[in-house]
Amino acid sequence: MIKKLILLIFLFQISVLNASIVEKLPWPEGESFLHFLDHHGMPQSIYWNLDKEDKELCEEIRAGVSYYMMTDDNGSVIEQVLIPINEELQIHLVREAENYRFEMIPVAYQEITDLFALSIERSPYQDIIKATNNRLLAHAFVDAFKNSFDFTRLRKGDRLAVVYKEKLRLGRPYGLPTIEAAMIEKRKKPHYLFRFHDRYYDEKGREVEGFLFRKPVNHVRITSRFTLRRYHPVLKRYRAHLGVDFGGRTGTPIYAAADGRIIFAGRLGGYGNVIKIRHRDGFMTLYAHMHKFRRGMRRGKYVKKGQVIGYIGSTGMSTGPHLHFGLYKNGRPINPLGVIKVTKKTIYGKTRKEFLRYAAIMKEKLQNAVETNACPVRLDDLSRSNMCIDEKTSVGG
């Protein structure tokens, strides 16, 4: 009972409770926020009264994501709802008299940094899973190295070391782990990788080429950058911007950022006319507020990198013509500017000095981990706090 109370306070930030029921539910495929309000008998004006940023964010709710709904003790009146829109921010609906208040609030989580080393027995992927029980971490490790390192012909006894960050929510891993620095040996020769300003570099500061996208527009300026969460001091509200905005004249051509297949071409609430393209390696790009699509651009069509798919416009919730460009990896929004080729491949000047200092510190950490055989944290240990929610939990007042 105490645990459940803590959970409710943690999730809903409430201190006084009458009897209530909390359900954890998966967000249905194809459900829009507006539909959701409709299905649950909540006023549609909640959506229509939102400003354009919040309306855009309502299009970011991912199918399958867990949301929480708190009802009164007989389950008939919805008191509060929490719907995550990304790892950092969530929609909070709170009942007030006959209506609901809409607010964006941060998702509470902790972040841990862990460091470990291990000897390769079978493969880096399998060995990391065996040592940590963390499949996503193993995946992130291989992903980070895959463009600069050949995983074949590794020898048993070669070693690897990793510094990574993991978010925890309710004692469970949350979102994707981030590799901050890593080392892998091949026949005892170490290869390093460092994350710096959202990109990966080798020891000499050369960018490790990943899957690179081109800019979706030419000669336009960035009017708004990517942020998972920021606090607006004037509005006193939390905001997020899950893409990059490029300001430009109506009719400016928009290019496919990489080869891929169109999986959506149509209208999408606050985003207006939208094209979504699926690319290899779990990437997806989104182009919003388009004036119109180029002829023939429809679902199922295969497009080449650099091909015109449509034109800049101001459809949906938009104050002026611009392209909102979103990039997603395995369904999660990531910073497009980390993957679009906008800078030189090697870091120069002051930034280089800064990088080399940082890389030296991280390298020492990795070497230490190898020498001391630093053990990883296992996922099972992290999850031991066991504050998970039952499918339907009744809490007496």
* Interface positions with Zn ion (CB under 5 A): 245, 324
SS3 363: helix
| CA–CA distance, 17 with 22 (Å, rounded to integer) | 12
Query: Which tokens sit at 377?
Result: 């944290």
Least separation in angstroms between CB 354 and Zn ion: 30
Least separation in angstroms between CB 318 and Zn ion: 8
Max Cα–Cα distance, the chain, nearest Å? 69
Least separation in angstroms between CB 323 and Zn ion: 8
Least separation in angstroms between CB 322 and Zn ion: 7
Query: Which tokens sit at 239?
Result: 């905001």
Nearer to Zn ion, 158 or 245 (CB): 245
| CA–CA distance, 186 with 340 (Å, rounded to integer) | 30
Nearer to Zn ion, 240 or 258 (CB): 240
Residue 182, H or E segment: strand 172-186
Nearer to Zn ion, 167 or 241 (CB): 241
Nearer to Zn ion, 342 or 388 (CB): 342
Least separation in angstroms between CB 324 and Zn ion: 3
**262-268 long-range contacts, Cβ below 8 Å, gap at least 24?**
262/297, 262/298, 262/299, 262/300, 262/301, 262/302, 262/303, 262/309, 263/299, 264/299, 265/293, 265/297, 265/298, 265/299, 267/315, 267/316, 268/59, 268/316
Nearer to Zn ion, 52 or 135 (CB): 52
In the complex, which residue's CB is closest to Zn ion?
A: 324
Which residue(s) pair with 189 in the sheet? 186
Nearer to Zn ion, 215 or 324 (CB): 324
CA atoms in the 13 A half-sphere facing the CB of 104 = 26
Least separation in angstroms between CB 243 and Zn ion: 5
Least separation in angstroms between CB 314 and Zn ion: 12
| CA–CA distance, 205 with 359 (Å, rounded to integer) | 9
Nearer to Zn ion, 60 or 245 (CB): 245
